[in-house]
Amino acid sequence: MPRVMICGDLVWAHKECEEMFKGVADIVVMDSSNRADFLTNLKSGGKYEGIVGLYRHNISADSIGVFDKEIINALVPSVKWIAHNGAGYDQIDVQACKENGIFVSNTPGAVDDATATTALYLMISALRQYSKAERDVRAGLWKSQLRSGNAHDATGRTLAILGLGGIGMRLAELAHAFPMRIVYHNRRKVEDAPAWCEYFPAERLDEMLSIADVLSVHVPLKKETEGLVGEKMIRTLKKGAIIVNTARGKVIDEGAMIRALEDGHLGAVGIDVYPNEPDVNPRLFEFPNATLLPHMGTETCDSQKKMEIRALTNLRDFLVKGKGSDIVPEMTPKSRM
């Protein structure tokens, strides 16, 4: 039977994993505490020898680091599939995988609900100034430092979605219930989006930013999107606008965002992700109008389990059918985004 590796322990789907791979593959669990040990054991005679595919979770980076060229090269030639658990796969050098004939899948869909709910929460918190309100009430200040002039209803306001993928669209659904006006920018118009999602192409991006009350970021992190939300974009937003980020920290130019909070151009921010997690720039703690979470986007037992099963299914489908269904866009001929 072929061998596959679990790289980053399963938490919820042990039973499902057993059932799915019974008679299909032998499973070896990655238990190296550092990269050197991992690389050694991938070689002939090592405990990970001959694996043809693997399930990967970002937690494995704590012991062996990210899947950069060095690791990808060590996986060659036996590994043909990396089933990543998560929507964001910026910790995998996809280019190196392509060059070496290794397919990568992620877990779109399974992350949408929990992440969009996190974005909704951050948006409400930022609009209503709830982070400061809770800190104040816990400090015995009641609402003495709060002003309703700084707090706004969501209803009737405009939410701009940067990147209308699965997560962005789910947030649009939830926000449209108030209703909020939904506008979006995407590399291409999303043809199957409802009519109330108003598309703004590149040449009208500035126009979109200037009418946005809330800008929510939902683009993946790549070379082209690093610092995408920078000084120029931020200053094009109307004064008092709010930014919500549940995508990846590096998509926003943190320095530009901080300056805009200092001078009041931005009304508030709701942040779940940071450029150098788990480090958080302590400057962010100084702003009373910042709501901060430690990358909680998919942290529910329901979604964690769904994501594990989705990734394992991709791996199993590779073994049984030759390919999983969630190949990352960079490796598919056509792409939604």
204 assigned to active site: no
Query: Is residue 154 within the footprint of another protein (CB under 8 A)?
Result: yes
Tell me the closest approach of the beta carbon of residue 272 to another protein, in angstroms: 9
Please name which of 176, 161, 287 lies closest in space to residue 219, comparing C-alpha atoms.
Answer: 161
Among 142, 196, 204, 232, binds another protein (CB under 8 A): 142
Query: Is residue 294 within the footprint of another protein (CB under 8 A)?
Result: yes
Query: Is residue 59 within the footprint of another protein (CB under 8 A)?
Result: no
Query: Is residue 300 within the footprint of another protein (CB under 8 A)?
Result: yes
Among 303, 313, 324, 326, binds another protein (CB under 8 A): 303
Read off the tokens for 22. Answer: 């019974």
Query: Is residue 196 within the footprint of another protein (CB under 8 A)?
Result: no
- The footprint of another protein on residues 238-267 (CB under 8 A) is none
What is the rounded CA–CA span in Å between residue 237 and residue 208?
8
What is the rounded CA–CA span in Å between residue 229 and residue 223?
13
Bridge partners, residue 29, by sequence = 6
Choose between 38 and 121: whose C-beta lies nearer to another protein. Answer: 121
Active-site residue, from 35, 295, 299, 330: 295
* 11: CB partners within 8 A, 6+ apart: 304, 308
From the list 38-46, 126-134, 224-232, 315-323, the region that binds another protein by CB under 8 A is: 126-134
Choose between 53 and 297: whose C-beta lies nearer to another protein. Answer: 297
Please name which of 91, 116, 22, 111 lies closest in space to residue 305, comparing C-alpha atoms.
Answer: 111
Among 121, 184, 200, 287, binds another protein (CB under 8 A): 121
Q: H-helix or E-strand containing 292?
A: strand 290-292
Active-site residue, from 70, 262, 277, 286: 277
248 assigned to active site: yes
Choose between 195 and 301: whose C-beta lies nearer to another protein. Answer: 301
- The footprint of another protein on residues 157-176 (CB under 8 A) is 173-174
End-to-end CA distance of the chain: 37
Read off the tokens for 14. Answer: 């042990």
Tell me the closest approach of the beta carbon of residue 95 to another protein, in angstroms: 30
Reduce the DSSP state of residue 313 to 3 states and report it.
helix
Tell me the closest approach of the beta carbon of residue 109 to another protein, in angstroms: 13
Query: Is residue 197 within the footprint of another protein (CB under 8 A)?
Result: no
Among 301, 321, 322, 333, binds another protein (CB under 8 A): 301
Total interface residues for another protein by CB under 8 A: 50
DSSP 204: G
What is the rounded CA–CA span in Å between residue 195 and residue 201?
15
138 assigned to active site: no
Query: Is residue 322 within the footprint of another protein (CB under 8 A)?
Result: no
How many CB atoms within 10 Å of residue 62? 9
Q: In angstroms, what CA-CA distances link 72 with 82, 232, 327?
A: 10, 37, 17
Q: H-helix or E-strand containing 158?
A: strand 158-162
Read off the tokens for 271. Answer: 């942040």
Is residue 60 a contact partner of residue 30, using CB atoms and an 8 Å limit?
A: yes
Tell me the closest approach of the beta carbon of residue 117 to another protein, in angstroms: 6
Read off the tokens for 318. Answer: 């590779």
Name the residues annotated as catalytic: 248, 277, 295
Residues lying near another protein in the complex (CB under 8 A) are found at 11, 113-114, 117-118, 120-121, 124-125, 127-128, 130-131, 133-134, 136-138, 141-143, 146, 148-155, 173-174, 177-178, 277-278, 280, 285, 291-296, 299-304
